[in-house]
Amino acid sequence: MLVDILQFVGVLFCLFTAFLIRFRLNKDNSFSGHLLAVILLLIAICNSFYLFIVYGIINYFPYLYKIPAPLTFLIFPLSYLYVRAVLNGEKSFKKMDALHLIPFILFTVNYFPFYTMDLSEKSQFVFEITQDFSKSYTGQDGLLPEWVNITSRASASILYLLFQWHLIINYFRKRQQILSKQFALVKKWVYDLTIIQTIHSVSLVILYSVNALIATGIIPMVRYTHVILGLLVSGSFLLVSCYLLWNPNLLIGLPNLFIKNPDTDAASITADIEVIFTELDKYLNKTKAFLDPNLKIDTLSRATNIPVRKLTHVISESNYDNFNDYINQLRITYAADKIEDNYLHTYSVEALSTTCGFNSKNAFYRAFKKAHDCTPGQYYTNHFGSSND
């Protein structure tokens, strides 16, 4: 039951994160962003079918059984291509990437006998699976026995993980001199993602092996082994989605390194960032665009002709947590200037917060205290000697 609950929560989180990336956070429609959303969606779909089978829900939709089986062969290739796209700044698939579809196509063809089966026969077949889950991996649902599917899937996941580890280790080995904040963020993300995937795959391989040994009578049923392995398998994809939600900087302008040449001089990269940030800061202070409470990074991107991804990178490299932190600090600087011009002698703190572009007085207080370690009223008192909080 615990494993099933964890799996259900993981499915919900993966779906939520996938839709969040696709429809809200991937503002510049980056290729890597689309890949990540698809990966999370496929993980959610494939893992949800386990619950559909175990709890008999699939009996209401027997024609959907085995739809996810070929889809599982897309997850690890897409993960590898996602990491490659992030590291190399790729904007589309390469022609040779079509080769990654071969296992998916082969196992789609493999299940044609089931897909074309009469609905009544299919319903009976699926019902028997829901009554005895072991038949889902000991029987033969297509042209090939299920152990071929399982072995191929496990082998493919390990193979692609080896490719992925080789890719990231070689990439970062050649770029050890780069100390960028964004670079460190992306490096940690791709390493953590690959570690989580490795734990998932190794646990799954062990689980498959244990099931095979039990099915052949070599070892007895060991309950706690299944629970531990199930927790590792189910928890891994939940961890990926939680990781992304916990680290919004990976989603607000999805990871991109902006470093095409490993020999690029770090000083020149820093200089470029400073030039862009100076232009950005000059624009905002001149237009006072930060006073708009509805200012979004994509709006600023269109106004300055700087891509969203580059804006995110430049701001994070300029000692700000993110876009919102940068804009709020500009607003607080403006608020401090207004206070020093005796604004609070005539108007309230709430009026000041609205004037400075904050949607709420509480948000204004938090941002002001973070910047000056005091409230606006205390700042006024320190400057003029009387409180107006």
From the number of C-beta atoms within 10 Å of its C-beta (0-12, 13-18, 19+), residue 60 rates as: exposed
Tokens at 204, concatenated = 């799954």
Question: Quick one: pLDDT at residue 221?
Answer: 66
Lowest mean pLDDT across 13-22, 132-141, 250-259, 285-294: 250-259
pLDDT tens digits, 261-308:
545 555 555 667 888 889 999 999 999 999 999 998 888 988 999 888
The pLDDT value given to residue 7 = 85
CATH class for the region spanning 2-250: mainly alpha
Q: What is the reported pLDDT for 253?
A: 45
H-type alpha helices, 248-341? 266-287, 297-304, 308-316, 323-340
Tens of pLDDT along 333-377?
Answer: 999 999 999 999 899 999 999 999 999 899 999 999 989 999 999
More confident residue, 348 or 255: 348
The yes-or-no verdict on residue 165 having pLDDT over 70 is yes
Q: What is the pLDDT of residue 388?
A: 55
What fold, for 266-384?
A: Arc Repressor Mutant, subunit A (1.10.10)
Most confident of 23-27, 288-292, 294-298, 321-325: 288-292
Tens of pLDDT, residues 73-120: 999 999 999 999 988 888 899 999 999 999 999 999 999 999 999 999
Using pLDDT thresholds of 50, 70 and 90, give the confidence band for residue 43.
very high
Integer Cα distance of 178 and 217 in angstroms: 55
For the chain, the structural domain boundaries read: 2-250, 266-384
- Token pair listed for 13: 């989180």
How many residues appear in the chain? Answer: 389
What is the average per-residue pLDDT within 303-328?
A: 85
With 90 as the cut, is the pLDDT of residue 24 above it? no
Q: What Cα–Cα distance (Å) separates residue 315 from each residue in 53, 133, 279, 311?
A: 48, 52, 12, 6
Q: Say how far apart CA 147 and CA 135 lie, in whole Å.
A: 11
What six digits make up the tokens of 384? Answer: 């003029």
Which residue carries 């490659």 as its tokens? 84
